[in-house]
Structure 1
Amino acid sequence: MKTARKPRMAHGRAATARQAKSAAIAKAKAVAPDTPARIGATPATKFRGNPDIFGRLVEDHDRHRALLAMIAATQGKSPERKRLFNEFVREVKGHAAAEEQALWSTVLRDPPTTEDARHAVAEHHELDEMMADLAARDMGSSGWLRRFAKLREEYLHHVREEEQEQFVAAEKHLTAADVRYMRQVFNRRKREEKAEAKVEKKIKLKD
């Protein structure tokens, strides 16, 4: 009995997705080439490798997944941990601000997707607070590692929800021209926002 073959188009999409993921990890690795970036399997998403705003956002998500894995692989107050954490903070701040301007500002105007946009933006602010708290604490302490593990969990939950739910819902209310144009806006704003991003330090009084 012959094994059924996947359609060539599906195989091509899978290869494109793998290439996009590998390229995103390579960008993270450039920050600390000797630190492993073992992100393992990632949640299923139809957007990885797409030439539109959603594919571009997933590209950043994979880069951030790699940075988180690399931070977790560092030790104490090492220069690598500090460099990777600072890069993660600046990456996420630039990404979130550009995402809000390119995508969510438009989605907020459409009643069926308003709640998704508000939810995503609210989680961006929560992540900002968690990163500022970590930046203000001793990187070599067990408390820092515990808080970092919580940040990692929250961030991975946030991007999984975006990729599997919120982007899917938003796409239904956007035209092909919209999503292509949004990618251009995102790329421009991401460069500008990341260049201006600061690693703020502020202890959270409540965990």
Structure 2
Amino acid sequence: MNIFEALRKDHDIQRELLKKLVQTSGDTKLRDNIFKSLKNELETHADGEERFFYKPLIDSDKTQQKARHSIAEHHEIDELIEKLEETDYDSSAWLKIAKDLQEKVEHHLEEEEHEVFQMAGKVLSENNKGKLADEYEKYMEKNR
């Protein structure tokens, strides 16, 4: 497995959790469970991705700007998660913020998969792509 396959696998988990989250309503155990799972997944993934994918990309002039942009988007996603935590589950604003989060995350994942991965593919060696995937997967297993 290479780093792109490892990240895409987790992106699919995030998309599925987001889809389930925006289908929930009210102050329910289901909404709480899905939100906590999504929050953990997004935070752990962003941290692992920054360590094992963006860090090597920042070192290259070709990918530095895209890497910095993606890291900035991680912070925007964190801010939306904080807003959700500060809002009551049964508030009408909660679902709107959750949909904003879904839109932001899906935009981020699309940009990553269709722009950043292509640029990174030209900068990272085949050996490095495999090594980064191994390190990323070990990190995710330990911190999920």
The answer to whether the superposition gives a TM-score over 0.5 is yes
> Aligned-pair distance for 1:133?
1.2
TM-score, normalised via structure 2 length: 0.96
Q: Which runs of 4+ in 1 moved over 4 A?
A: none
Q: How many residues are matched?
A: 144
The residue that corresponds to 2:96 in the other structure is: 146
Question: Are 2:39 and 1:108 equivalent residues in the alignment?
Answer: no
Structure 1 unmatched runs, 5+ = 1-50, 195-207
Counterparts of residues 63-102 of structure 1 (less than 5 Å): 63-102=13-52
Output the aligned Cα RMSD.
0.9
C-alpha separation in 2, matches of 1:193 and 1:121: 19
Please say if residues 21 and 98 of structure 2, whose CA atoms lie closer than 8 Å, have aligned partners that are also in contact.
no
Give CA deviations for 1:20-44 in whole Å, capped at 9, x if unaligned. xxxxxxxxxxxxxxxxxxxxxxxxx
Aligned match of 1:167: 117
Q: Distance in 2 between matches of 1:192 and 1:182?
A: 15
Could you tell me how far 1:128 is from its partner in structure 2? 0.7
| CA deviation after TM superposition for structure 1 residue 73, in Å | 1.6
Q: Identity of counterpart residues, as a percentage?
A: 33
In structure 2, how many angstroms separate the alpha carbons of the residues matched to 1:146 and 1:85? 14
TM-score when normalising by structure 1:
0.68
2:64 corresponds to 1:132: no
Q: Which has more helix, going by share of residues?
A: 2
Instruction: Return the index of the structure with the highest Cα Rg.
Output: 1
1:23 corresponds in structure 2 to none
Q: Structure 2: where are the runs of 5+ without partners? A: none
Deviation at 1:193, TM superposition (A): 3.7
